[in-house]
A and B are shown apart, each in its own frame.
Chain A
Amino acid sequence: MSIPRARLLDLMRARCELFGTTFNPEGIRTGNKILRQRLKGPALASYYPRKLVTLRDFRREFEPLQLEVDDEAEQDRLDHIAALVTFRRHSLRISQSNISQSESPWEGSTKKEEGSIRRWRCVHSVSLLYDGPR
């Protein structure tokens, strides 16, 4: 004694209604399994730890309490710039003394003087690079 197919289909339809699944007796590929998949983007995007708080935020938090926060890296950077600036002043003084020796630095200057002028320009551009805000 076999159960008629129509009756089995009715059972399947009722089951689908009950459990909220798609009634698909022919097993057609509808791509529903793509829609059932969970999105994995948020999990993948949170792989690397994000930057939470910076030293600047820290300092801002402690400012109302009249407390100072030392930033060693920033201090190192400022020291480096200060060293560069003194170096520039020093080389500027040398080049100026060279220029004052000859009447016109641009025309008829010796090779040595040209070199000193060029070096001053070079140092100047380096210091300009480092003087700017980070």
Chain B
Amino acid sequence: MAPLHRTSPICATSDRSTGSQATLHVGDDDDDAPRRLPYHHTVKMSMFRAKKLDLGCFTNVRILRDHSKRKAFEAAEPERQALRYIIRNTLLPARTRAIAQLQLTQMHCYTRPTQIRNRCILGGKGRGILRDFKMSRYNFRMQALAGNLPGVKKASW
């Protein structure tokens, strides 16, 4: 694909445009600058937690953690998508894409969507959650039998 890159006018412009972006956003490593630790080594998990409890459901530390991760992901999502775009774009120079890959992997783990897990809002359990009701299967059964879930009815056939 390399010859195509050089000849195509679209690629040339994109090279130029991302060249400026690479210095601005991605940043080149110069050897004189002091080495910084990766981002996830310097940031504490607790900085993502809300200073004041902002949840109205059942609360335990796992729910708080998951909620913090959700908010962290929401805040970092545009940046993550921008980096993913740079990585996927084969028209960009390989160096820019490699730097973007490194940046994406060095983002804090709380900003990753795969860290998010649905938990039961009544008991905080992490397994056997019905997505539609945000409840574990046992709590769902209890609530359904008590008639607290509109439209849910015990079936038998």
A49 contact set on B, CB distance < 8 A? 55-57, 121
B63 at the A interface (CB under 8 A): yes
B90 at the A interface (CB under 8 A): yes
B87 contact set on A, CB distance < 8 A? 31
Contacting residues of chain A (29-53) with chain B, CB-CB under 8 angstroms: 29-31, 33-35, 37, 39-42, 44-45, 47-52
Structural contact, A39 and B90, CB atoms closer than 8 A: no
Mostly, the A contact residues are: loop
Chain A nearest CB, measured from B6 CB (Å): 14
Structural contact, B84 and A34, CB atoms closer than 8 A: yes
Interface residue ranges, A against B (CB under 8 Å): 26, 28-31, 33-35, 37, 39-42, 44-45, 47-52
Known: A35-B81, A48-B66. 9 other contacts (CB 8 A): A33-B88, A34-B81, A34-B85, A40-B77, A44-B73, A45-B70, A47-B134, A48-B70, A51-B56
Interface residue ranges, B against A (CB under 8 Å): 1, 4, 53-57, 63, 66-67, 70-71, 73-75, 77-78, 81, 84-91, 113, 116, 118, 121, 134
| Sample of 26 A–B contacts (CB below 8 Å) | A28-B1, A28-B90, A29-B88, A30-B91, A31-B89, A31-B90, A34-B81, A34-B88, A35-B85, A39-B77, A40-B77, A44-B113, A44-B116, A45-B70, A45-B74, A47-B67, A47-B70, A47-B118, A48-B56, A48-B63, A49-B55, A49-B57, A49-B121, A50-B54, A50-B55, A51-B53
